[in-house]
Amino acid sequence: MNAEQAGYQAIDRICDYHVTLRDRPVLSQVEPGYLRKALPSSAPTEGEDFQLIADDYQKYIIPGLTHWQHPSFFAYFPTSSTFEGILAELYASSTSNPGFNWSVSPACTELEAVIMDWMAQLLGLDESFYNISEVGGGVIQTSASDSVLVATVAARSRYIREHPQVAMENLVLYTTTQTHSLGKKAGLILGLKVRALGVTAQDDFALRGDTLKVALEEDTNAGFHPFILIGTVGTTSSGAVDRLDEIADVAKHYPFLWLHVDAAWAGVAFVCPEYREAYQLPAINSYVDSFCTSFYKWGLIQFDGSCLWVRHRKHLTDALDITPEFLRSKHGNAGTAIDYRNWQLGLGKRFRSLKFWFVLRARGVKGFQKYISDCIKLNTKFAQSIYESELFSVVTKPSLAMTVFRLAPKSLCQLRTPELNTLNRAFYARLAARNDIAITQTDLNGVFCIRMVIGAEQTLESDVERVLALMEYEAMALLKNQWEGIGGRRGRKTDVVPFHSH
């Protein structure tokens, strides 16, 4: 098979894959080391016919994949894969180039600068974040972790420039106990002291201004220097939203405390204006130094692609611009074009803006809004069923397309947290042993719970109904087997669903 035939075949097979997703088990059933056993121990000496290679992809790789776009994928947060994005990735890789300076491929930089302004408009971000402002600006990073690292490096460099006498070991980076591990990791990589502030169930796991105030006072009195706070809109465990308005009110007394907001998953919901107020967009627009959301999660763009906006691009370039002679260029030297290598950690970058451009044009703002609001509607239905259930209860307020709940049969209301945790671990183990649903667990201040997140484009109301029925089936089976005598009552009249394996 020649390369051209292989190309047509690949597109056909990719289409087939997406069309048949629903019929596949969502989770892979392979054991560790399966691929080493199946593949030769070294590369072939002579080149092989492409048909063999393409067939081996089907035979060996597909069975080892988790199907993140499967309609029954409710784990972690979603990761998108759209046909428009696939085509953009094809075009982008067909002219592969590292795009580090404007001059190395002007289209790559210019499209990214335009697209980041489109995305900023789509989300309702303040114009001071637009590239066209020439003061602030946006850049596509690989991931939210890179975005935090870049923001932290910029904040550190700004702080040290303003306070040259301060020793690095006295700087403090603030997160909360619910911040994604990216905060701790940034501290680890940069050798910084990290303080995780406590949040409570009563506050829906959101950071409050008073907690921050006490910590900042304690630390400054002890001779430390607060220089960055990583706030979150939509925490990983429960979709919590830090009280950025209160935080900003405290932070105004610390002019060099950089506020970064990580909205890796939830930020994309700002495409629907009705969620902007409740999810703190006005505070983001008024106060924060940098803001990140990852369209590759819940935004129809395939991995990778995390959007980072900063209020002052100068803080990025002051921290990250290192220009040896071989990287000099006419427009870079003159400052008449963006050189994105100075806005990120690495030198080169993929041509990611192409997939944003293709998807946004093909779907339009309305298409984006419909996708997000459909997911939220499905989650509202799911959450409603949990509220009405005799078996399950929500652990914290549902957030956008996410519901965190646990098995807590009304008939077992005498059970306390440790016993309920044991029950829920057993319940989750049953769900995790199935290959027809992907769902993940978490711990919220000592409460073991299950998190359900809707985001696959193919998920329908019937899939959500099915997952509810499946969970009831597993819950009842568990209660019958292991908790005989104290069993619960069924909450919904849905028949037991068959399943692939157990």
Does 294 participate in binding ligand PLP (rule CB under 6 A)? yes
Identity of the residue, 225 or 355, whose beta carbon is nearer to ligand PLP in the bound complex: 355
* Minimum CB distance to ligand PLP, residue 146 (Å): 7
Site for ligand PLP in 139-158 (CB under 6 A): 143-145
Q: Is 311 in the site for ligand PLP (CB under 6 A)?
A: no
DSSP alpha helix (H) spans, 242-312: 244-251, 281-287, 295-298
Strand partners, 441: 450
And the tokens for 251?
């932070």
Residue 154 CB, shortest distance to ligand PLP, in Å, is 17
Residue from 174, 258, 265, 448 that binds ligand PLP (CB under 6 A)?
265
* Smallest gap from residue 224 Cβ to ligand PLP (A): 25
Q: For residue 128, what are the CA distances in angstroms to 313, 483, 497? A: 10, 59, 52
- Number of alpha carbons in the 13 Å side-chain half-sphere of residue 468: 27
Please report how close the Cβ of residue 264 comes to ligand PLP at its closest, in angstroms: 3
Among 182, 450, 478, 497, binds ligand PLP (CB under 6 A): 182
Closest separation between CB of residue 278 and ligand PLP, Å?
17
Residue list 39-58, contact with ligand PLP (CB under 6 A):
none
Question: Counting contacts by CB under 6 A, is residue 77 touching ligand PLP?
Answer: yes
Q: Please state the closest distance from residue 142 (CB atom) to ligand PLP, in A.
A: 7
Nearer to ligand PLP, 17 or 76 (CB): 76
Write the burial class of residue 36 (CB in 10 Å: 0-12 exposed, 13-18 middle, 19+ buried).
exposed
Contact in structure between 65 and 28 (CB atoms under 8 Å): yes
Q: Which is nearer to ligand PLP, 82 or 399 (CB)?
A: 399
Contact by Cβ (8 Å): 51, 1: yes
Residue of 264, 308, 431, 452 interacting with ligand PLP (CB under 6 A):
264
C-beta closer to ligand PLP: residue 206 or 408 = 206
* Piece of the chain touching ligand PLP by CB under 6 A; list 8-16, 17-25, 261-269, 402-410: 261-269
Q: How far is the CB of 410 from ligand PLP (least distance, A)?
A: 32
Q: Does 180 bind ligand PLP (CB under 6 A)?
A: yes
Residue environment code for 468-483, b if the CB has 16+ CB neighbours within 10 A, otherwise e? bbbbbbbbbebbeeeb
CB of 302 to ligand PLP, least distance (A): 13
The residue at minimum Cβ distance from ligand PLP is 143
Give 306 or 435: the residue with its C-beta nearer to ligand PLP: 306
Among 272, 283, 309, residue whose Cα is nearest residue 144: 309
Site for ligand PLP in 347-406 (CB under 6 A): none
Q: Of 251, 80, 255, 97, nearest to 163 (Cα)? A: 255
Output 185 or 492, the one with its CB closest to ligand PLP.
185
- Residues in CB range of 45: below 8 A, 6 or more apart: none
Query: Which x/- pattern, by CB under 6 A, does the window 202-241 give for ligand PLP?
Result: ------------------------------x-xxx-----
Nearer Cβ to ligand PLP, position 264 or 475? 264
Q: How far is the CB of 349 from ligand PLP (least distance, A)?
A: 15
C-alpha 32, offset from chain centre: 26
175-179: long-range contacts (C-beta < 8 A, 24 or more apart)? 175/229, 175/230, 176/205, 176/207, 176/232, 176/242, 177/445, 178/205, 178/232, 178/235, 178/236, 178/237, 178/238, 178/240, 179/230, 179/232, 179/235, 179/262
Considering only the stretches 260-268, 358-366, 416-424, 450-458, report the one whose residues sit in contact with ligand PLP under the rule CB under 6 A.
260-268
Please choose, from the candidates 450, 479, 480, the residue with its C-alpha nearest in 3D space to the C-alpha of residue 467: 450
Distance CA 426, CA 172 (A): 40
Nearer Cβ to ligand PLP (145/285): 145
Give whole-number Cα distances, 481 to 196, 223, 234, 235, in Å: 41, 58, 37, 35
Q: What is the CA radius of gyration of the chain?
A: 25
Binding part of the chain for ligand PLP, among 19-27, 150-158, 159-167, 262-270 by CB under 6 A, reads 262-270
In the complex with ligand PLP, the residue whose CB is nearer, 290 or 389, is: 290
- Closer CB to ligand PLP, residue 82 or residue 237? 237
Paired with 140 in beta bridges are 307
Question: Total residues contacting ligand PLP (rule CB under 6 A)?
Answer: 16
Q: Give the distance, in angstroms, between the CA of residue 366 and the centroid of all CA atoms in the same chain.
A: 22
CA distance 169 to 156: 11
Contact 340, 364 (CB under 8 A): no
DSSP for residue 336: -
Chain contacts with ligand PLP (rule: CB under 6 A)? 76-77, 143-145, 180, 182, 232, 234-236, 262, 264-265, 294, 306
